[in-house]
A = this chain, B = another copy of it.
Amino acid sequence: MRISFIGSGNVAHHLAHYLSKSNEVIQICSRSLENAQILANKVNAKAISEITSLEEVDLLIIAVNDDQIETLSKAIELKNSIIVHTSGTKSIDLLKGHKAYGLLYPLQTFTKDRVVDFAQIPVFVEGSNQDVLSSLSKIAEINFPNVHHIDFEQRQKLHVGAVMVNNFVNHLIAQTDQFLEQNAMDMAYLKPLIQETIAKIDGFKAKDIQTGPAIRRDQQTINRHLDLIEDNSMKSIYEVMTKCIQEFTS
């Protein structure tokens, strides 16, 4: 299959790299020709910086920041390519005007220099009509083992979940890291605990294994903890999470 990319960030990087193994990646288009070239070299494609230089392909993947999708889409002149974006939050209607468009959304957090195992990642597709959905599903299923259809409403809700378990979990760790650092301790002390916390979700419902002072309603420990936290943001997190744990289980 012939696939091109608009974008050279993390999502484009990981998708292009993975898809290049069993497809032909034709062009990498990025405002920065230099960035396009770095990725193009890795996947044996041609780097371009002008959207008007795009060639017809089987699949054109727009993997850019959400707020650039619509403008880029309007500049694309291809007639016979299926065009998709990869956003968790944006409607495929941003691609309106093209003959065949849709979504290819790999639900994962991508970081440069970290290998991603696409065999584990759910990939969600949506199509501008039933034919496009059917074509896109076929393309996706050839390339990814874990493909699902999803409508826009559901995808947005799924993205809320992704924000909860990725962005917010990461922030809890960032806050804790800073708190330990300020108190001359090392995050290494907590890593086995974090890992076990997550390992458990394979065998248990999280609500069934909640522990700690909040669910025990151990107000003495809660008050002591709030005394020990100087940072106001961290204090507000502690208060809200404690309240919600108690409401969730009452």
Contact surface of A with B, Cβ cutoff 8 Å:
66-67, 89, 107-109, 111, 114, 116-117, 120-122, 148, 154, 156-180, 183-185, 187-198, 200-207, 209-215, 218, 221, 224-225, 228-229, 233-234, 236-238, 240-241, 243-245, 247-248
Q: In the bound complex, do residue B154 and residue A178 qualify as a contact, i.e. CB atoms below 8 Å apart?
A: no
Partner of A174, one of B175, B180, B218, B248: B248
- Given the interface pairs A107-B192, A176-B165, the reply to whether A157 lies near B185 with Cβ below 8 Å is yes
The A interface, classified by DSSP as helix, strand, loop or mixed, is: helix
A-B contacts besides A108-B196, A164-B175, A164-B176, 7 pairs, CB < 8 Å: A89-B213, A108-B193, A116-B196, A160-B228, A164-B234, A165-B176, A169-B197
Q: Which 6 A-B pairs have the closest CB atoms?
A: A167-B212, A174-B206, A173-B206, A233-B244, A174-B207, A164-B176
Q: In the bound complex, do residue A162 and residue B203 qualify as a contact, i.e. CB atoms below 8 Å apart?
A: no
A183 to B150, CA, bound (A): 12
A207 to B190, CA, bound (A): 16
Partner of A211, one of B166, B172, B233, B241: B166
A204 to B114, CA, bound (A): 11
- Given the interface pairs A192-B120, A197-B165, the reply to whether A180 lies near B206 with Cβ below 8 Å is no
Q: In the bound complex, do residue B194 and residue A157 qualify as a contact, i.e. CB atoms below 8 Å apart?
A: no
Q: List 13 A-B contacts (CB under 8 A).
A: A109-B200, A154-B183, A156-B224, A158-B185, A160-B229, A161-B176, A161-B190, A164-B173, A167-B210, A170-B210, A175-B244, A234-B244, A240-B240
Cβ of A91 to closest chain B Cβ, rounded Å: 11
Which residues in B have their C-beta under 8 angstroms from that of A164? Answer: 172-173, 175-176, 179, 234, 237-238
Which residues in B have their C-beta under 8 angstroms from that of A190? Answer: 107, 158, 161-162, 165
Q: In the bound complex, do residue A179 and residue B166 qualify as a contact, i.e. CB atoms below 8 Å apart?
A: no
A54 to B125, CA, bound (A): 65
A114 to B171, CA, bound (A): 28
Partner of A154, one of B122, B176, B185, B193: B185
Which residues in B have their C-beta under 8 angstroms from that of A166? Answer: 193-194, 197, 211-212
